[in-house]
Structure 1
Amino acid sequence: MSQLTVSLNDDGLHSITAPDSFETSGPVELLLDNHGEAVHVHLNLDETLSAVADIRANNHYVEPENERPVSVAVNPRSAAVTGRLKIATGYGSEVAYTTISVKPPSEDPNRVTVDESLSKPQREPPAEPTTAEQLADAVAGGNSTGLLVGFGLLAVVLAVAIAVTLESGVVVAGAIVVLLGVIVAVGLAVRV
């Protein structure tokens, strides 16, 4: 937020010292800086400026030797506009004008900049390998996980062969338990 300072009572009762011109691209804080006795200040935006800016209250009381900030809202999507701010004290006996130029912001904060890099396909991150791929890598790798997988497969093959040969319900149940144990062990080993 930019700030525009207006000095009051600096050169005598009801005197106003304000810049001739002021430029902004957003809201303005108008600082009424009183250097003397209490004063009533009337603020008015001309028709051109009031199309893009707004002061909530026009009349302001500023205590002796004190400051009073006044917010001036500015439409950020407005086109470039130049108008005048009228500052009056002493019920209009003293008047000063400041020409205010409202420029559109150099960049819209909601705007997205698009460049050539967005037209090129982006690489997707590699997908996590499936459990079967991890199992195949572990067997081929020859590490401790591969050995665990190899012994697990050997145990499952032996359990199935014995269950088929003996045709016993207890042996089949045991083979299923061995199979489940190997699956759990391999799953834990591969995840680690």
Structure 2
Amino acid sequence: MSQLTVSLNEDGLHSITAPDSFETSEPFDVLLNNHSEAVYVHLNLDETLSAVADIRANNHYVEPESKRPVSVAVDPRSTAVTGRLKIATGYGAEVAYTTVTVQPPTDDPKRVTVDESLAKPQREPPTEPTTAEQLAAVAGGSATRLLGGFGLLAVVLAVAIATTLESGVVVAGAVVVLLGVIIAVGLAVRA
């Protein structure tokens, strides 16, 4: 981050020493360097400069013999903008001006260029395959045929056990298995 240094109280109370001009292409700090007594400093951007730069607060208290940075946000433009920064102390008794030029930024490797291609829908993220799809991939065949084969095997086993044991409960279980297979095959065909 670039820095514009302003010396305060160096040549007497409320004196201001600031550069005549300053150039930047990025946000910068106005470093208020106080050489003596505590002082209030008022910073103001003219209308031209305030179109591309912003100081959150205009009035700043600077402790005796201390430094205080004041951040200036900059909105980069495609063309250069030149304006004036007003620096005042002693409630306007002393005033200094610095001409500030905000240049368009140079090519920055961290900068991202946005174009119309970002507005186009991107590919859907891949979804995890269903259990039937995983089984079909392992078997190398259709998920529906594989599911139907397992269902047929389950029904045959249920009927064989029901006839061997001659039990109503087992027959009812075989019917439930048959209904489950029909529903599963129907869902697999739908997907």
Contact 1:52 1:78 in 2 (8 A): no
One-letter amino acid of the structure 1 residue matched with residue 53 of structure 2: A
Q: Which residue in the other structure is 1:23 paired with?
A: 23
**Taking every aligned residue pair, what percent have the same amino acid on both sides?**
80
Deviations 1:2-36 (A, max 9, x none): 00100000000000000000000010111000000
Aligned to 1:87: 87
1:44 aligns with 2:48: no
Residue-by-residue CA offset, 1:45-82 (whole Å, 9 max, x unaligned): 00000000000000000010001110000002453100
The CA deviation at 1:93 is: 0.4
Which stretches of structure 1, 4 residues or more, deviate above 4 A after TM superposition? Answer: none
Aligned residues: CA RMSD: 4.9
1:99 aligned residue? 99
Structure 2 residues not aligned, in runs of 5+: 115-191
SS in 2 for 1:26: coil
Matches within 5 A, 1:3-152: 3-77=3-77, 79-106=79-106, 107=108, 109-111=111-113
Rounded to whole Å, the distance in 2 between the matches of 1:21 and 1:111 is: 31
Aligned length: 171
TM-score (norm: length of structure 2): 0.58
Q: Deviations over 1:114-149 (max 9, x none)?
A: xxxxxxxxxxxxxxxxxxxxxxxxxxxxxxxxxxxx
TM-score of the pair, normalised by structure 1: 0.57
Equivalent residue, structure 1, for 2:148:
none
Aligned residue runs from structure 1 range 162-173, under 5 A? none
The farther-off stretch of 7-16 and 78-87 is: 78-87
Say which SS state the counterpart of residue 49 (structure 2) adopts: helix
Q: Which runs of 5+ in 1 are unaligned?
A: 113-192
Distance 1:66 1:111 in 2: 41
1:19 counterpart SS class: coil
Instruction: Name the amino acid aligned to 2:113.
Output: R
Cα deviation, 1:73-96, whole Å, max 9, x if unaligned, reads: 000245310000000000000000
